[in-house]
Structure 1
């Protein structure tokens, strides 16, 4: 009789200890916000969380790459806009300089402005980012990793943007056509100046068309980076949601379970205390 009673008491103590451990575990889950404390809590979910964690680490790097590339692409866009403005002004000056009524002093001022525009073009072609990276690299642009399978450029090679334009005399640079305009405006003979200016204007139009195409190509690169950023954000949200479902505590459910187990433990402790107030003589009677 006594042995059986002792066994029941020990079993009850163990049951209460288990309840206490479960309550402590629930409190930990609520305070940390994490359902999985160690891998053994849920090996399958823990393994998946590990995979997701690695993927999120990769995404952090790719997101940083995309933001850097987008910053460069925006600077390139601004530079190309400046190049476009330069050639629009070059055309205006060349048209004005071809006129018979323009004075030699005015033409000299136009030549001076054209030379200034030529210098501005050179500065744009060799411009750099705040970190010293060339906006228009002399070699092939660096391809930026934006995912495990995708690598994108933020800009174009310098020669692609500023060289290889087809003019009347053949292939040449953007710089050359401004020099051609300067030579035309500097010509004193009106007939020769007009003929040279007309040829220069035709070439300037070709340069403007080339710059427009390069501007559009840069827009495509920027759009690709924007698309990569959107895909990255979408994938990041999906991974975060999946990880949360696997790893995070369901607070409402855990609080309900905690309250129920706390009440059960309190009731068991009260009953156990009441039963064990009996003396040995009470048990023998």
Structure 2
């Protein structure tokens, strides 16, 4: 009988010790906000959290890539807008220079401004990104990674923007050559020759404008792709964060309920233990 009593006492002490540990763990989970402290707490959840953590690290890199791509794409679009302004101004000047009312001095000023436009054009061609790389590279633009499967170039190749203009008289030309030809046309003293050459230049300038419209449209497609990839990355990141939280974070309401239940159980066990152990040997044999 003494042995049985001793065994029962040991069981009660063990039960109270276990309840105390569970209460301490619940309190820790509430205070830290984390239900997983070591992988052994939930091996399956811990393995999934490790996978999510790796994906989130990858997404951090992809997010930085896409932000850089957005900046380059925006800079390229602004540059293309400026180049388009150069071509628009070239057309205005060529029209003025071809006019019969333009004096030699007027035409000389127009020719000088047209040649200066080529300097502006060269400046756009030589633009660099904040990292010092060519905005319009001579080689194929760098493919920027925005996910495990998404690659995009944030800008166009230099030759695609400044060369390859399909001109009206056949073949291709460059933006610079078209502006130079316009300056040469306006500089001619013979009115008939000037008019003929200017009309050819105006047609080529219109072709250059159409060429730039196509380039700006292509740049807009790149920007849209980058924005879409960034939005998809944000959405995926939110899903991963939510899933990780469900696996890793403490369900405070449920844990508080469990804590209260464990505390009541411990109090009841302690009271029962105290009452039983107040009894003497005569109480048991009476």
TM-score, normalised relative to structure 2: 0.96
Deviates more, 1:6-15 or 1:44-53: 44-53
Alpha-carbon deviation of 1:159? 0.7
| C-alpha distance in 2 between matches for 1:220 and 1:43 | 45
| C-alpha distance in 1 between matches for 2:113 and 2:3 | 111
Q: Which residue of 1 aligns with 2:20?
A: 20
Q: Does 1:213 align with 2:214?
A: yes
Alpha-carbon deviation of 1:35? 1.7
| C-alpha distance in 2 between matches for 1:54 and 1:130 | 29
Q: How does 1:172-187 map to 2 (within 5 A)?
A: 172-187=173-188
Deviates more, 1:35-44 or 1:149-158: 35-44
| C-alpha distance in 1 between matches for 2:138 and 2:285 | 101
Q: Does 1:126 align with 2:126?
A: yes
Q: Does 1:36 align with 2:36?
A: yes
Q: Which residue of 1 aligns with 2:7?
A: 7
| C-alpha distance in 2 between matches for 1:259 and 1:133 | 63
Q: Does 1:142 align with 2:132?
A: no
Q: Which residue of 1 aligns with 2:258?
A: 257
Q: Which residue of 1 aligns with 2:87?
A: 87
SS at match of 1:152: strand
| C-alpha distance in 2 between matches for 1:210 and 1:143 | 23
Q: Which residue of 2 aligns with 1:69?
A: 69
Deviates more, 1:236-245 or 1:250-259: 236-245
Q: Does 1:60 align with 2:60?
A: yes
Structure 2: which 5+ runs fail to align? none
Structure 1: which 5+ runs fail to align? none
- Aligned pair count reads 285
| C-alpha distance in 2 between matches for 1:265 and 1:254 | 16
Alpha-carbon deviation of 1:257? 0.6
| Per-residue Cα deviation, 1:112-166 (whole angstroms, up to 9, x for no partner) | 2212211111110110112211110011000011111121110111011111112
Shift in CA distance, 204/164, structure 1 to aligned 2, threshold 3 Å: same
Alpha-carbon deviation of 1:279? 4.1
- Supply the RMSD in Å over aligned alpha carbons: 1.4
Deviates more, 1:244-253 or 1:264-273: 264-273
| C-alpha distance in 1 between matches for 2:257 and 2:112 | 83
| C-alpha distance in 2 between matches for 1:98 and 1:110 | 10
| C-alpha distance in 2 between matches for 1:170 and 1:149 | 38
TM-score, normalised relative to structure 1: 0.96
